[in-house]
Amino acid sequence: MASAPLGLLVQEMLTHSDNFIAAMLLRQLGIAKGQAGSFEGGAAALTASLTDLGLWDDGQLIVDGSGLSVNNRITPAALVKALQLSAARPELSAVLAGLPVAAATGTLGTRFADDQSAAARGLVRAKSGSLDGVSSLAGYTPSSDGALIAFAVIGNGLPTDQDIRPWFDHVAAALAGCDCAG
């Protein structure tokens, strides 16, 4: 049985936040880079690849492919650099294409509903993430003057009854409405 092309798997994984695909891709990366086909082998291969691309910062840690481990550590700056690299390299186009569209697709389909988020609808493409006490949004948007802006916001140590997602949506909408070059 043949697999779907890698680009389609990446798009599906990002659009629908498919943790199974993410975990399996990490294991496959481990095998492809001569490591074990395990979370540990995949994480070692991913860390080496990100280091080679200049995307790895001290203090970061990848434990699993899905991002569900509370031990994963990544900086917003590293996410922004990864998005910028994806925009600059055609072979990484599946990353940008797979990001859900604000108020339209995937995990962002029902978000950006309030008036303060209106500027983002249909423009912002981003991956959301959430665990107990943690929430994030990383993606890109064209600004009102046509500049492509990559962004990442992460909230850690949040009370479990606090929903910070609307605030993140407002940040993305502000960037979408920005006249950044002017």
Instruction: Tell me what pLDDT residue 181 has.
Output: 66
Instruction: Provide the CA 61 distance to its chain's centre, in angstroms.
Output: 16
Query: Same structural domain for residues 173 and 85?
Result: yes
Q: Is 51 left (phi over 0), alpha (psi -120 to 50) or beta?
A: alpha
Residue 42, domain extent = 1-73
Last residue of a domain, which of 39, 56, 73?
A: 73
User: How do residues 33-74 score in pLDDT, each as one tens digit?
Assistant: 999 999 999 999 999 999 999 999 889 999 999 999 999 999
Query: Same structural domain for residues 59 and 84?
Result: no
Question: What CATH number does residue 115 fall under?
Answer: 3.40.710.10
Query: Same structural domain for residues 46 and 89?
Result: no
Residue 145 reports pLDDT greater than 90: no
Query: Same structural domain for residues 62 and 123?
Result: no
Q: How many structural domains are present in the chain? A: 2
Last residue of a domain, which of 73, 88, 117?
A: 73
Cα three-residue angle 11-131-178, rounded to 5 degrees? 60
Residues with Cβ within 8 Å of residue 152, at least 6 apart in sequence: 76, 77, 79, 80, 83, 136, 137, 138, 139
Residue 182 reports pLDDT greater than 90: no
Query: Same structural domain for residues 69 and 82?
Result: no
The model carries a pTM of: 0.94
Residue 76 reports pLDDT greater than 60: yes
- Tokens representing 125 are 């493409």
Query: Same structural domain for residues 68 and 82?
Result: no
Give the residue-averaged pLDDT of 135-163: 92
Last residue of a domain, which of 16, 44, 73?
A: 73
